[in-house]
Amino acid sequence: MCIPVIKGTEPCRRSFYAVYDGHGGSSCSEYLALYFHKELALHPKLKYAPSQALQEVWRAMDEKYLADMQRKVNRNELRVLPVDGSTATIALIIDNEVYIANCGDSPAFAISANGLIKQVTEDHST
């Protein structure tokens, strides 16, 4: 999915790819699939500090998901708060730079031109 260039900024070629793996249900991973890339595209640090933008969006999405689910409970759209979660592996490409991030136990691997495979992320667990 290409992230649109924000009006008023210099052109920059950006692409975003993600795999979300729901744990205990699909609510959280579906939410991330709908909103993570949008939140990232609007982040003010995306152009000059993409790694920091990714980290800040991770934290923000946690809070936004919980707040959105609480609103749905308050409006009686949900009976109880969901107890599911999601792991994720994300690749953000800006011009010729690749930023890879993960959450949980969803690792990312790189394969070199000569066929060597290397894990490029660390698993997280709580």
Whole-prediction pTM value? 0.81
Q: Which of 46, 50, 58 is nearest to 5 (CA)?
A: 46
Largest CA distance in the chain: 56
Would you call 1 helix, strand, or coil by DSSP? coil
Q: What is the pLDDT of residue 126?
A: 54
Cα 9 off chain centre by? 23
Output the pLDDT for position 105. Answer: 85
**pLDDT (tens digit per residue) in 21-77:** 998 889 999 999 999 999 999 999 998 999 999 999 999 999 999 999 999 999 999
DSSP 8-state class, residue 77: S
* Structure confidence at residue 9 (pLDDT): 56
**Which one is predicted more confidently, 78 or 125?**
78
Residues 6+ apart with CB under 8 A from 67: none
- pLDDT score, position 122: 83
Q: For residue 1, is pLDDT > 50?
A: no
Residue range 110-114: average pLDDT? 90
The residue whose two tokens read 């979300």 is 20
pLDDT tops 60 at residue 5: no
2 pLDDT band, cuts 50/70/90, is: very low
pLDDT computed for residue 7 by the predictor: 52
% of the chain surpassing 70 pLDDT? 89
Q: Which residues pair with 103 in a beta bridge?
A: 88
